Chains A and B, each alone.
Chain A
Amino acid sequence: MIIAERKPMEEIKQLIAPYKKVLVAGCGTCVTVCWAGGEKEVAVLASQLRLARSAEGSEISVLEATVERQCEKEMVVELEDKVAEVEAVLSLACGSGVQTMAEMFEDKPVLPAVNTTFIGMPEKEGLWVEMCGACGDCFLDRTGGICPIVRCAKGLLNGPCGGTRRGGKCEIDPEKDCAWVLIYRRLEKQGRLDLMRKYYEPKNYRAVKRPGKVQAMQA
């Protein structure tokens, strides 16, 4: 799912500096699962903001609300009343949620409190790693189910590069595995190393023309 990370507190404080009444809006889907913007994090951030203002000697009124999915207009409309009461909205949803809120409530500044980072999965509780780059041209069949576009630091299709560290670690970050060594090991297990021996032509980087649009065939 989408993984996000709360912005540094300094940045958040600056974003809401001009305001005395804000709504902290959470989302009950991806950002809840990755501990960045669910009901708990909304409560914690709201608490922190009140404590911050009181330490500065000024006031702030912070409302709290969480909707099931902030990127759905029908769900976000529930916040209508609360949004009407405040001067600005601080959203803990991913970029999609923030923009949906901004569209629904055009007259209020909707500010992002998290940085949306990647599509990923948990390695263990509290640790998420990037898995998918949303390139629009998935070829995981050829790489044993390991994506080199985002898991290889250089996004190579005919990897590895010459910089793999001892033990199969990445040239850039010795803590990370070289994706192509992982791909090698996976394909070896499956007896499909021929897939790695093949030459792959340059990728179509325009498979998804930004801004992307997907029209379901049924509708």
Chain B
Amino acid sequence: METKIGVFLCNCGGAIKNIDFDAVAKKVAKFPGVTCVNLSSNLCLEEGKEKMISCIREEHIERTVVAACSPEFTEHIFQEVLEKSGLNDHLMSMANIREQCSWAHEGDVTEKAVELVKMAVNKVRFLQPMEKKAVPVNREVLVVGGGFSAINTALQLSRVGLRTTILEKEAALGAGTEKLESFYGFYPSSMVSAVEGGRNIEILTSAQMTAVEGNIGDFGVRIRKGGEEISRKYGAIVIATGYKTELTLDSEPKLRAEDEAISGINIVSQEQFCRMLRNPSLKTEPKTIGFMFDFSDENSRFPTLATLNNALAAKKKWGSEIYVFYKSVKVDSEGVEKLYQEARDYGVVFLRSEISPTITIKNGRVKIEAKDVFLGEDVILACDILVAEELYLPAEETETLSSLLNIRVDSRGFYQDENVHLYPVSSERKGIFFVGGCRDDLDLGRVLTDISSVVINVHELLFSGKIPVDVERVKADPQKCVACLTCIRVCPHGAIQLVRADNSKEVAGISDLACDACGICAAICPAKAIKFQGYRDEEILAQIEAIGESSNGRIVAFCCEHSAYPAADLAGKLRLHYPENLRVIRVPCAGQVDVFHILKAFEKGAATVLVMGCEDGACHHITGNIRAKERVNYCNMLLKEVRVDDRPVAMFNVSPNAPYKFVRAVNEITKITKESGR
């Protein structure tokens, strides 16, 4: 018995003018399995939806095809319709006959519309129902760190009803917060006592994470405290381990007799200088003070703030002569420009130079030599204290922790890959977040924003104690899996682990909670063991078959739903026209495109294949576009081995809001394809 397929065509209130819907309906009705074809002018409105529901019920439709506008808009609407009519909402495929057909090409596009519907009909035959389930999750949160970010995150999380553990490797909380006292008027002790007295908060000091297993909703964490190993479970983990600073000068800061200024050698850090300022029993107030920042490290937001604060404070307290050597003063943090102005008004002298000043010790004083950009002359200063430039660096344990948590760091060694989709506080693994100075050179305003972001994110995830998932949306078949570990190694979201299947063989287990449905694993599996519902071989090949049945010269484009697909839609909206022979197959990520699918497209007569994904560094799934590029290169090599073609597979990177780039790419490829005679 063939599956009953119902096709619903919509002309969008008459907005689609260059398709002969009657002709389409006639042709479509002949496709195997299609038992009813309906035409509407307002399928997404109440009337249209009601009609659709009745039709599905009355005709006992088992699979649905909707040929209308882009799924980006209305997929969810029709999924609801399916639910209401008693069908699993996954049993639908949409043909984009508006943005990517009617609006994208000149003249009559009836033929293409028929093909697009055929692709959807072919695919829908293979779709399997997918269950939704609310998976119970652990509601407790682990916050790693003990400074300002960690304490405040924990406080806020506890106040929204989530039990939180603070894990700090030192013996006490509040390290590194003294700076904040003089800058922002926060008193660390009150912060710490707030968290110590907090309900819903557990504090573990002198404790360190030694192992992390599992995924969001169920992280198994082992903690070593005082020689004992504790095992805990958490729903989410927030890293707030802060940063460290290092003086750029080789000589260690030498402050003889704690917090005393003397006429000896004094090169100090900002922190030490703060202590000097606060020291009530300071013997000698320094008469001349030099500051340096922004030469070696462009990430100088915090050093800038520290310098301005300290310089101003010193000027007010001691009236010393203060000279600040800088390359540029970055005032983008709130209140910093005002602070800069105030410092200047108070008489702090700012000297700009292009390269780092030379520091020497002469006659017991620190000598600073620099070439002032504005004076155009060399400036030599002999001062009692030099507050040297500090580098803003990742905290000590960053490498270890990132390894334990299986998360990437950026090019400077700080948490959080440089990928816009992760900002501000996410990692590539669901349920693991970063907040504060451990991820970037932040000022207080931005740190507070981070904290709010994290609290909202975590609350949203965990508060109800359940997270809805699509059950086994991506699954490794334990019968076929050979535990080659490839998927585990390439999953950008750390969502796959080795698990014991029923027959107790170790196989790859994909966590429904942690999986972000990119399909990179499915494409690379050498045993073809991973099935990604909606994008399995049968579903993709069915679409390719439909394309292949028409005359040759088709260009098959695998378009990622985060980049090229929306770009194509936008091109349609703007009525940017491109050649009609393009056939788009929507994929969740360019990295899901399988070499096998590409070769099959050629077997079925495609002239060229395009793979289109996100721009460099902006892949929604972090490494998807890189994998796609590797595969495209590999595919071209495989094809070169058997044909004379020159690179019949091309990779393009586009942003979702770059319709012109999309159109240019399609035009270019069409031209090349024609010229090569394919």
Instruction: Find out whether the CB atom of B526 lies under 8 angstroms from the CB atom of A38.
Output: yes
Q: Beyond A33-B484, A44-B596, A125-B486, is A55–B526 a contact (Cβ under 8 Å)?
A: no
Q: Beyond A43-B596, A47-B596, A49-B642, is A28–B482 a contact (Cβ under 8 Å)?
A: yes
Instruction: Find out whether the CB atom of A51 lies under 8 angstroms from the CB atom of B642.
Output: yes
Contacts of B489 in A (CB 8 A): 124-125
Instruction: Find out whether the CB atom of A52 lies under 8 angstroms from the CB atom of B596.
Output: no
- Helix, strand, loop or mixed for chain A's interface? helix
Question: Is A35 close to B, CB under 8 A?
Answer: yes
Q: Beyond A32-B484, A35-B526, A39-B480, is A55–B643 a contact (Cβ under 8 Å)?
A: yes
Q: Beyond A28-B480, A32-B526, is A51–B643 a contact (Cβ under 8 Å)?
A: yes
Contacts of A47 in B (CB 8 A): 596, 599-600, 602-603
Question: Is A29 close to B, CB under 8 A?
Answer: yes
Kindly provide the distance from the CB of B559 to the nearest chain A CB, expressed in whole angstroms: 22
Contacts of A35 in B (CB 8 A): 486, 526
Question: Is B641 close to A, CB under 8 A?
Answer: yes
Cα distance A125–B527 in the bound complex, in angstroms: 15
Contacts of B528 in A (CB 8 A): 38-40, 43
Instruction: Find out whether the CB atom of A50 lies under 8 angstroms from the CB atom of B595.
Output: no
Instruction: Find out whether the CB atom of A9 lies under 8 angstroms from the CB atom of B482.
Output: no
Question: Is A48 close to B, CB under 8 A?
Answer: yes
Cα distance A6–B482 in the bound complex, in angstroms: 19
Interface centre among B480, B482, B526, B639 (most CB of A within 10 A): B526
Q: Beyond A50-B603, A51-B603, A125-B489, is A32–B643 a contact (Cβ under 8 Å)?
A: no
Cα distance A34–B599 in the bound complex, in angstroms: 21
Contacting residues of chain A (1-52) with chain B, CB-CB under 8 angstroms: 9-10, 13, 28-29, 32-35, 38-41, 43-44, 47-52
Contact of B638 among A10, A34, A38, A48 (CB under 8 A): A48
Contact of A55 among B485, B527, B596, B644 (CB under 8 A): B644
Instruction: Find out whether the CB atom of B599 lies under 8 angstroms from the CB atom of A32.
Output: no
Q: Which residue of B lies closest to A31 (CB)?
A: B526
Contacting residues of chain B (591-631) with chain A, CB-CB under 8 angstroms: 595-596, 599-600, 602-603
Interface centre among A35, A44, A50 (most CB of B within 10 A): A44
Cα distance A117–B638 in the bound complex, in angstroms: 21
Question: Is B490 close to A, CB under 8 A?
Answer: yes
Contacts of A32 in B (CB 8 A): 482, 484, 526-527
Q: Which residue of A lies closest to B600 (CB)?
A: A47
Q: Beyond A33-B482, A125-B489, is A52–B643 a contact (Cβ under 8 Å)?
A: yes
Interface residues on A, range: 20 to 34
Contacting residues of chain A (173-195) with chain B, CB-CB under 8 angstroms: none
Instruction: Find out whether the CB atom of B527 lies under 8 angstroms from the CB atom of A48.
Output: no
Cα distance A50–B599 in the bound complex, in angstroms: 10
Could you give, for residues 480-509 of chain B, a 1 whenever the CB lies within 8 Å of some chain A CB and a 0 otherwise? 101111100110000000000000000000
Instruction: Find out whether the CB atom of A51 lies under 8 angstroms from the CB atom of B486.
Output: no
Instruction: Find out whether the CB atom of B526 lies under 8 angstroms from the CB atom of A33.
Output: yes
Q: Beyond A40-B596, A43-B596, A44-B599, is A28–B527 a contact (Cβ under 8 Å)?
A: yes
Contacting residues of chain A (44-99) with chain B, CB-CB under 8 angstroms: 44, 47-52, 55
Interface size counted on chain B using CB atoms at 8 A: 24
Contacts of B639 in A (CB 8 A): 48, 51
Q: Which residue of B lies closest to A51 (CB)?
A: B642
Kindly provide the distance from the CB of B43 to the nearest chain A CB, expressed in whole angstroms: 38
Cα distance A55–B602 in the bound complex, in angstroms: 11
Could you give, for residues 633-659 of chain B, a 1 whenever the CB lies within 8 Å of some chain A CB and a 0 otherwise? 000001101111000000000000000
Q: Which residue of A lies closest to B638 (CB)?
A: A48
Question: Is B381 close to A, CB under 8 A?
Answer: no
Instruction: Find out whether the CB atom of B641 lies under 8 angstroms from the CB atom of A9.
Output: yes
Question: Is B29 close to A, CB under 8 A?
Answer: no
Q: Beyond A29-B482, A47-B596, A51-B642, is A40–B527 a contact (Cβ under 8 Å)?
A: yes
Instruction: Find out whether the CB atom of B642 lies under 8 angstroms from the CB atom of A9.
Output: yes
Instruction: Find out whether the CB atom of B595 lies under 8 angstroms from the CB atom of A38.
Output: no
Contacts of B603 in A (CB 8 A): 47, 50-51
Cα distance A47–B603 in the bound complex, in angstroms: 7
Instruction: Find out whether the CB atom of A40 lies under 8 angstroms from the CB atom of B642.
Output: no
Contacts of A125 in B (CB 8 A): 485-486, 489-490
Contacts of A52 in B (CB 8 A): 641-643
Kindly provide the distance from the CB of A62 to the nearest chain B CB, expressed in whole angstroms: 10
Kindly provide the distance from the CB of A38 to the nearest chain B CB, expressed in whole angstroms: 4
Could you give, for residues 401-415 of chain B, a 1 whenever the CB lies within 8 Å of some chain A CB and a 0 otherwise? 000000000000000
Instruction: Find out whether the CB atom of A38 lies under 8 angstroms from the CB atom of B482.
Output: yes
Kindly provide the distance from the CB of A166 to the nearest chain B CB, expressed in whole angstroms: 27
Contacting residues of chain B (509-554) with chain A, CB-CB under 8 angstroms: 525-528
Kindly provide the distance from the CB of B535 to the nearest chain A CB, expressed in whole angstroms: 15
Contacts of A51 in B (CB 8 A): 599, 602-603, 639, 642-643
Contacts of B525 in A (CB 8 A): 40
Contacts of B482 in A (CB 8 A): 28-29, 32-33, 38
Could you give, for residues 121-146 of chain A, a 1 whenever the CB lies within 8 Å of some chain B CB and a 0 otherwise? 01011000000000000000000000
Kindly provide the distance from the CB of A115 to the nearest chain B CB, expressed in whole angstroms: 16
Instruction: Find out whether the CB atom of B638 lies under 8 angstroms from the CB atom of A44.
Output: yes
Contacts of B600 in A (CB 8 A): 47
Contact of A48 among B480, B642, B644 (CB under 8 A): B642
Cα distance A29–B293 in the bound complex, in angstroms: 59
Cα distance A160–B483 in the bound complex, in angstroms: 37
Kindly provide the distance from the CB of A73 to the nearest chain B CB, expressed in whole angstroms: 20
Kindly provide the distance from the CB of B588 to the nearest chain A CB, expressed in whole angstroms: 19
Cα distance A52–B528 in the bound complex, in angstroms: 23
Cα distance A56–B642 in the bound complex, in angstroms: 9
Instruction: Find out whether the CB atom of A55 lies under 8 angstroms from the CB atom of B638.
Output: no
Instruction: Find out whether the CB atom of A48 lies under 8 angstroms from the CB atom of B486.
Output: no
Contacts of B643 in A (CB 8 A): 51-52, 55
Q: Which residue of A lies closest to B630 (CB)?
A: A126
Cα distance A44–B597 in the bound complex, in angstroms: 9
Kindly provide the distance from the CB of B493 to the nearest chain A CB, expressed in whole angstroms: 16
Contacts of A28 in B (CB 8 A): 480, 482, 527
Kindly provide the distance from the CB of A11 to the nearest chain B CB, expressed in whole angstroms: 11
Kindly provide the distance from the CB of A135 to the nearest chain B CB, expressed in whole angstroms: 26
Contact of B599 among A9, A33, A48 (CB under 8 A): A48
Cα distance A124–B489 in the bound complex, in angstroms: 8
Contacts of B485 in A (CB 8 A): 122, 125
Contacts of B486 in A (CB 8 A): 35, 125
Kindly provide the distance from the CB of B416 to the nearest chain A CB, expressed in whole angstroms: 23
A-B contact pairs, 8 of them (CB 8 A): A9-B642, A28-B482, A38-B482, A43-B596, A48-B639, A51-B599, A51-B643, A125-B486
- What 14 additional pairs, Cβ within 8 angstroms, besides A47-B603, A51-B643? A33-B526, A39-B480, A39-B528, A40-B525, A44-B596, A47-B600, A48-B638, A48-B639, A50-B603, A51-B642, A55-B644, A125-B485, A125-B486, A125-B490
Which residues on A are within 8 Å of B, measured CB to CB? 9-10, 13, 28-29, 32-35, 38-41, 43-44, 47-52, 55, 122, 124-125
Nearest 6 pairs of A and B residues by beta carbon: A52-B642, A9-B641, A47-B599, A33-B484, A38-B526, A55-B643
